[in-house]
Structures are given as C-alpha cells and as structure tokens.
C-alpha cells in the first residue's frame, strides 16, 4: 500500500466512526432527564407554551426525521443555540474549545519535556538506583487522581506561596500561559508517567535490537546511535500511545478546568450537563470527539511518515 | 522467547508488595468497624476542624467527624468500586473478544469500528454524560462505566484469540471435531486471557481514580457517605486551614491504586516470564 492510499483508507474509516458518534450523541441527548421546554419556561409553564417550544425546536417530529434534520444541520456547521445563554453553540465552542486545546497542548508539551529525558536515564541505567527512583516516582504519580493533584498544587503554589493565580484564564496570551501553568502541570502528570514507562521499555527494546548491535560493531559513536537510531524508533511507538492518550487527556481537562475554574470547554460541559443545556452538551461532545478522531488520523499519518512499515 | 526458568518459587517483589497492600485493604474494607476508632458519621460539635492529635490521628472535619474513621470506612465503598466497576467489563468484554477474535470477518470489522468510535469519546466525558442521564449514584456509575469499559477488554482478548486461532492446536481441535464453543472457551481462551487479567488489575486502579473523581464532582457516591473522592470534595474549601480533611483520603487513594498497579506488574512478570 502506498502512502496516499493509506491516507485515503484512513480518512474513509473516519466516516462510519463519525456517523456512530453522531448517533450516540443524538440518542444520549434525547435520554437526558428533563426536557428543554421546561428548562426554558420553568416548571410552571402552560401546556400550550411547551407545545409551541417543542414545535419550534422540532421535538414533536418522529425521531428518524429529527435525526435527519440533525445530520443536515451538523453537516452545515449549525449546532443550534444554547438554551441558557441564547447564543449559537458553534460560537460557544469557538470561544471555549481553544482554551481547552491550549491547556491540553501545554500539558502534552510538559509531559514530553519531563518524560523523554527521564526515560533515557531510566532505560540506560536499567535496574539501578536512578531507574528505580524514576519509575517509583511516576508509579505514585500515576496513582494520584487529577483533582487531588490539582487541589494540592492550587493550595501550595496558588493560595500559600502565591506564585500562581488560583484560577481563571487572564488577559493576553502570556497571561493565559501563566494562568494555565498549574492546570497544565496537573494534567501532564499522568500522561508523563505513561509516556515515560512506554518510552523506557521502547528504548530498552531498541538498545537490545540487532541493528543497534550492528551499528555499534560498525564503530558508530554511542551518542549518534542513541539519537539517530534509538530515539527515532522509540519515538514511533510513543507517538501511537500519545495519539491514543488524547481522549484521556481531554477527559482529564474536564476535571482540571473544574478544579482551577478555567473557562474552557470541559468546564462548559459540566455546567451544561447540570443546567440541562442539551444543544451545548451535544455540540461539545461532537466537537471533542471530532478533535480526538482528527488527532488519531494525524498521529497515524506522522507514524506512517516515520515508519514505512505502518503502510505495508 | 528464550527465557531460562529462574528460581521458580521466588515471586517478584511488586507482586508481594501489591498483594500485601490489597490484602490489608480488603480486610479493612470488610471489617472497617474493627479498626476505626469512631463512627464515621458521628458529629462532634466541640471538635470542629481539629488538627491531627492523639485522640484524632488524622484530625476532624468541619462537622467534627473523625477523618481517620472516615478514611477507613471509605475502604468499603472504594474497594467495592474497584471490583464492581470492572467485573462486568472484564467478563463481558472477554466473552465478546473471544468470539470476535475466533470468528473474524464481518463481525470483527464491525467491532473494529465500534472500538474506533468508543475510543474517540473522551472516556470520562462519556461516563459523566451517561451518569447525568441516569442520575448520580454508585449504581448508575457502574452502569455507565460498564457500557463503555468492556470494549477495552474485548479488544485485548480479540487480538490475542486471533493469534491463537492460527496455531496448530486450534487446528487439532477442529480436526478432532470439537465444537467451536469448546475450542474457543476450553482451549483458546485460557491461553489468551493473560493480558486481559493484567489489564484488569490496572483497570481496578483506574476505577478507583474514576470513582473518586465522580464522587468529587458529586456524580458518584453521595454525601454523607464516607468515600475518598467525596471526602476530598468536602475538604476542598478548607485546604488552607484544615488540609487534613482532603490530604489523608488522597493518600489512601494513592496507596490503594499503587497496590493494584504493583499487583498487575507482578502478575505480568509471573505470567509472561520476565523480560
């Protein structure tokens, strides 16, 4: 299989996945407790008003008709209006999702910056003190819930030491980075633990591989072998893991944003679920799922580019 | 694989340590009253927000409840979460995975798309959404986790059974005229289940994290029940003045989670042979 063919196939696989996502979201949202009409009008609404609202929202039509209308509007980028905020859901998503994406991106960067060097140290000093300390430390990190880590960082570095703000998002790009630093560290912890663990065993696997022995036998310098051969191959397996972790990372962002009062998509999700704001929950779920699918495809493409065996 | 059988009876250290932690945790979960000094729900209005002392080693919370007793009683709920949230996914996912991996073809392709779609939803977001449909509480939380969680087991087992199906002994079974069910469940599955069991241990650690997260968000165990996530949420507004309310339950989560991951790692070592 050639690379373009691989890409075509991979993109084609997106279609059923996206359709399935839309069906699940459609069904789930219609199962949510309470109905939008009473959310808009309050509990003491007149029956006639409820009927009028339901007709306006198209909720009186049969489900397949509703689903078809839903598909058509999603395809044209129309996700309806927020019930509580009275503005288009797409607008809300454009406002809030970038915050979550920035947070996730910062967390991923921090995780890589922390995990890669430590993985090398652990792998090259396998079964020695440094290895045990690094692995033990990350093992503990992996067992800590996100909200707990966040709460402790918030208290120590925010409330007590006052090095960082205790929440919010700030104004201007640098201020955003400053506000998101603690949340990003919180979110990065478990990802860096998973990356470190995987990268460590990948490096060990590569170091023991025959082609590295061959390179060494050829008299190549150790550092060159490490970066040209070991790092590249170890990164391929890490990349796949990284793509798969994006969903977990976004899930973690929901909790992190709640703890740190960051006005991102995750926080909006929780607020909308409590506020029964159907269209927002629906739109956000779709947006997050699409974001994850696109990340999967991108990591697959990167992987195929780095490792020709993938397309075979 | 050329691994030399080493001292056959010496079990790996992670397994022993993890096993010891979990044995102790299970005992506390079964008999919390035997170790807890106070009633976890008893309020003591004279001792509100009391710091750790001899009478209250972990201090008291804003209702004067003994934090140590609450942490110990929470073992009952949180160990239950670890088991109940993962048991159905493990059993059901293994069965589906075995069938899909053995049959292959269209069911396998359809299953592949289902897996793709499920891993596309941020797991936590999906579970939160389902819990909010069903209503908060532990029972609904198990359902929400079960609806999604089985997919991961099925994927692991399907891949493993698929490999086993191509081996000679599977052909031998077919040549002997065994039924498909007998080949899959009596012969292939026992050889394919190891990774799923190892994942189960990790998953129990994840279930405790997830369960306490939902408790923290108010969607899991409901106050005033003693559950670690609920306790941490209870104490979050007192972090600056009475850190002990939230910090000790968190330590319990870490230790228990560590127990499960160590046991998982140790089991993997024993079952697969040390790499």
Name the closest residue on chain B to residue A136, using Cα atoms.
B258
Q: Which of B88, B94, B97 shows the shortest CA–CA distance to B143?
A: B88
B71-110 pLDDT per residue, tens: 999 999 999 999 999 999 999 999 999 999 999 889 888 8
Measured between alpha carbons, how far is residue A298 from residues A27, A49, A285, A293, B4 in Å?
29, 48, 20, 9, 42
B32-49 pLDDT per residue, tens: 999 999 999 999 888 899
CA of B55, closest CA in chain A: separation in Å? Answer: 26
Is the Cβ pair B246, A247 closer than 8 Å? no
Q: Given a cut of 70, is residue B191 above it in pLDDT?
A: yes
Q: Which residues of A touch B253 (CB under 8 A)?
A: 143-145, 148
Locate all alpha helices (DSSP H) within B121-193, ordered by sequence.
123-134, 138-165, 168-175, 180-182, 189-192
Q: Given a cut of 60, is residue B275 above it in pLDDT?
A: no
Mutate which of A28, A97, A151 to test chain B, going by most B C-beta atoms within 10 A?
A: A151
Average pLDDT, chain A: 83
**Which pLDDT value is given to residue A43?**
66
Structure tokens at A34: 């309470």
Is the Cβ pair A159, B216 closer than 8 Å? no
- The contact set of B with A (CB < 8 A) is 113-114, 116-117, 119-125, 128-130, 132-133, 135, 205, 209, 212-213, 216-217, 229, 232, 236, 239-240, 243, 246-247, 250, 253-258, 261-262
- pLDDT band with cut points at 50, 70 and 90 for residue B154: very high
Structure tokens at A29: 């949202």
User: Of A144, A155, A273, which is closest to B239 when you measure between CB atoms?
Assistant: A155
Name the DSSP letter for residue B60.
B
Name the closest residue on chain A to residue B238, using Cα atoms.
A155
d(CA B275, CA B272): 8
d(CA B202, CA B183): 29
Is the CB of residue A310 less than 8 Å from the CB of residue A116? no
Is the Cβ pair B123, A251 closer than 8 Å? yes
What's the mean pLDDT in B258-269? Answer: 89
CA of B190, closest CA in chain A: separation in Å? Answer: 27
- Residue B66 bridge partners (DSSP): B60
CA of A86, closest CA in chain B: separation in Å? Answer: 22
**Which pLDDT value is given to residue B56?**
92
Q: Which residues of B touch A152 (CB under 8 A)?
A: 247, 250
Instruction: Give Cα A141 distance to the centre of its chain.
Output: 19
CA of A230, closest CA in chain B: separation in Å? Answer: 19
Q: Which residues of B touch A254 (CB under 8 A)?
A: 122, 124-125, 128
Is the CB of residue B88 less than 8 Å from the CB of residue B265? no
What's the mean pLDDT in B108-126? Answer: 81
Q: Which residues of B touch A288 (CB under 8 A)?
A: 121-122, 125
- pLDDT band with cut points at 50, 70 and 90 for residue B1: very low
Mutate which of B14, B21, B78, B117 to test chain A, going by most A C-beta atoms within 10 A?
A: B117
| Contacts for A110-113: CB closer than 8 Å, 24+ residues apart | A110/A184, A110/A185, A110/A188, A110/A192, A111/A188, A111/A191, A111/A192, A111/A195, A112/A192, A112/A195
User: Of A143, A255, A285, which is closest to B129 when you measure between CB atoms?
Assistant: A285
Is the Cβ pair B212, A32 closer than 8 Å? no
d(CA A267, CA B188): 46
**Which pLDDT value is given to residue A253?**
92
**Which pLDDT value is given to residue B7?**
53
d(CA B21, CA B256): 7
CA of B186, closest CA in chain A: separation in Å? Answer: 33
User: Of A33, A143, A148, which is closest to B133 when you measure between CB atoms?
Assistant: A33
- Mind giving me the DSSP string for A60-119? TS-HHHHHHHHHHHHHTT---B-TTT-SBHHHHHHHHHHHHHHHHHHHHHHHHHHHHHHH
Measured N-to-C along each axis, helices A146-153 and A232-260 cross at an angle, to the nearest 10 degrees, of 70
Helix, coil or strand: residue A205? helix
User: Of B120, B124, B128, which is closest to A289 when you measure between CB atoms?
Assistant: B120
Cis ω for the linkage preceding A175 (within 30 of 0):
no
Name the DSSP letter for residue A34.
S
User: Of A24, A146, A269, which is closest to B213 when you measure between CB atoms?
Assistant: A146
**Which pLDDT value is given to residue A63?**
81
A262-304 pLDDT per residue, tens: 999 999 988 887 787 878 888 888 888 888 888 888 888 887 7
Q: Which residues of A touch B256 (CB under 8 A)?
A: 143
| Helices and strands in chain A: count of H runs, count of E runs | 13, 0
Is the CB of residue A199 less than 8 Å from the CB of residue A234? yes
Name the closest residue on chain B to residue A33, using Cα atoms.
B133
Is the Cβ pair B119, A151 closer than 8 Å? no
Residue A275: CA atoms inside 13 Å, Cβ hemisphere, count? 15
Q: Which of A52, A22, A74, A17 shows the shortest CA–CA distance to B109?
A: A17
Is the Cβ pair A159, B239 closer than 8 Å? yes
Q: Domains along chain B?
A: 12-40+56-274 (1.10.3720.10)
**Which pLDDT value is given to residue B124?**
84
Is the CB of residue A302 less than 8 Å from the CB of residue A239? yes
- pLDDT band with cut points at 50, 70 and 90 for residue A61: confident
**Which pLDDT value is given to residue A244?**
75
d(CA A201, CA B232): 35
d(CA B258, CA B253): 8
Measured between alpha carbons, how far is residue A281 from residues A267, A269, B76 in Å?
11, 6, 34
Helix, coil or strand: residue A48? helix
Query: Sign of dihedral through CA atoms A130, A131, A137, A141?
Result: positive
CA of B245, closest CA in chain A: separation in Å? Answer: 12
Lowest mean pLDDT among A112-126, A207-221, B63-77, B225-239: A207-221
Is the CB of residue A258 less than 8 Å from the CB of residue A99? no
* Residue entry with tokens 């096993």: B19
What's the mean pLDDT in B19-39? Answer: 94
Helix, coil or strand: residue B141? helix
d(CA B138, CA B218): 11
What's the mean pLDDT in B148-175? Answer: 89
d(CA B117, CA A60): 29
- pLDDT band with cut points at 50, 70 and 90 for residue A51: confident
Q: Which residues of B touch A258 (CB under 8 A)?
A: 217
What's the mean pLDDT in A3-26? Answer: 81
- pLDDT band with cut points at 50, 70 and 90 for residue A246: confident
Helix, coil or strand: residue B240? coil
Name the closest residue on chain A to residue B232, using Cα atoms.
A148
**Which pLDDT value is given to residue A42?**
67
The whole-model pTM stands at: 0.84
Structure tokens at B47: 């001792």
Q: Given a cut of 80, is residue A28 above it in pLDDT?
A: no
User: A-B interface: how many C-beta pairs under 8 angstroms?
Assistant: 129
Mutate which of B115, B129, B272 to test chain A, going by most A C-beta atoms within 10 A?
A: B129
**Which pLDDT value is given to residue A91?**
93
What's the mean pLDDT in B106-122? Answer: 82
Which has more pLDDT, A311 or A102? A102
Which has more pLDDT, A151 or A226? A151
Measured N-to-C along each axis, helices A173-207 and A146-153 cross at an angle, to the nearest 10 degrees, of 130
Locate all alpha helices (DSSP H) within A143-209, ordered by sequence.
146-153, 173-207
A76-98 pLDDT per residue, tens: 888 888 888 889 999 999 999 99
């Amino acid at each position: 299989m050639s690379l373009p063919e691989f890409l075509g196939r991979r993109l084609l696989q997106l279609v059923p996945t996206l359709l399935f996502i839309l069906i699940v979201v459609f069904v789930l949202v219609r199962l949510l407790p309470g109905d939008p009409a009473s959310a808009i009008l309050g509990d003491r609404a007149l029956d006639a008003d409820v009927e009028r609202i339901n007709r306006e929202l198209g909720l009186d039509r049969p489900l397949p008709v509703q689903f078809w209308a839903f598909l058509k509007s999603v395809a044209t980028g129309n996700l309806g209006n927020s019930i509580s905020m009275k503005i288009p859901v797409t607008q809300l998503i454009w406002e809030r999702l970038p915050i979550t994406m920035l947070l996730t991106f910062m967390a991923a960067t921090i995780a890589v910056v922390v995990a890669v060097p430590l993985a090398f140290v652990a792998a090259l000093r396998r079964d020695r003190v440094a290895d045990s300390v690094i692995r033990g430390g990350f093992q503990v990190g992996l067992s800590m819930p996100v909200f707990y880590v966040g709460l402790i960082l918030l208290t120590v570095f925010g409330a007590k030491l006052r090095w960082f703000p205790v929440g919010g998002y700030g104004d201007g790009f640098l201020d955003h980075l400053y506000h998101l630093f603690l949340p990003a560290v919180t979110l990065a912890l478990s990802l860096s633990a998973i990356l470190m663990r995987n990268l460590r065993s990948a490096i060990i696997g590569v170091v023991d591989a025959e082609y590295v022995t061959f390179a060494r036998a050829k008299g190549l310098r150790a550092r060159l072998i490490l970066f040209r051969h070991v790092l590249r191959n170890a990164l391929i397996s890490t990349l796949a893991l990284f793509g798969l972790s994006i969903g977990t990372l976004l899930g973690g962002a929901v909790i992190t944003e709640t703890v740190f009062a960051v006005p991102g998509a995750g926080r909006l999700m929780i607020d909308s679920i409590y506020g029964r704001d159907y269209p927002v929950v629906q739109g956000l779920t779709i947006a997050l799922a699409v974001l994850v699918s696109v990340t999967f495809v991108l990591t697959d493409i990167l992987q195929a580019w780095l490792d020709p065996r993938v397309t075979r | 694989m050329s691994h030399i059988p080493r001292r056959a009876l010496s079990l790996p250290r992670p397994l022993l340590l993890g096993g010891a932690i979990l044995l102790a945790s299970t005992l506390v979960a079964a008999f919390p009253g035997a170790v807890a000094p106070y009633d976890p729900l008893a309020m003591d209005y004279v001792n509100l927000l009391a710091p750790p002392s001899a009478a209250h080693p972990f201090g008291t919370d804003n209702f004067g409840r003994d934090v140590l007793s609450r942490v110990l009683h929470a073992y009952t709920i949180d160990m239950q979460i670890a088991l109940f949230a993962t048991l159905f996914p493990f059993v059901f996912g293994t069965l589906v995975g075995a069938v899909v991996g053995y049959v292959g073809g269209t069911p396998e392709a359809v299953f592949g798309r289902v897996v793709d779609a499920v891993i596309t939803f941020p797991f936590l977001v999906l579970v939160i959404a389902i819990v909010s449909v069903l209503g908060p509480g532990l029972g609904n939380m198990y359902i929400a986790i079960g609806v999604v969680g089985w997919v991961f087991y099925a994927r692991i087992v399907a891949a493993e059974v698929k490999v086993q199906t191509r081996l000679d002994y599977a052909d031998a079974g077919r040549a002997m005229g065994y039924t498909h069910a007998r080949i899959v469940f009596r012969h292939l599955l026992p050889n394919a289940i190891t990774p799923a069991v190892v994942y189960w241990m990790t998953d129990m650690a994840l279930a405790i994290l997830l369960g306490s997260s939902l408790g923290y968000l108010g969607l899991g165990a409901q106050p005033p029940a003693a559950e670690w996530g609920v306790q941490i949420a209870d104490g979050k507004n007192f972090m600056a003045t009475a850190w002990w309310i939230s910090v000790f339950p968190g330590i319990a989560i870490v230790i228990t989670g560590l127990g499960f991951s160590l046991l998982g790692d140790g089991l993997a070592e024993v079952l697969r042979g040390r790499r």
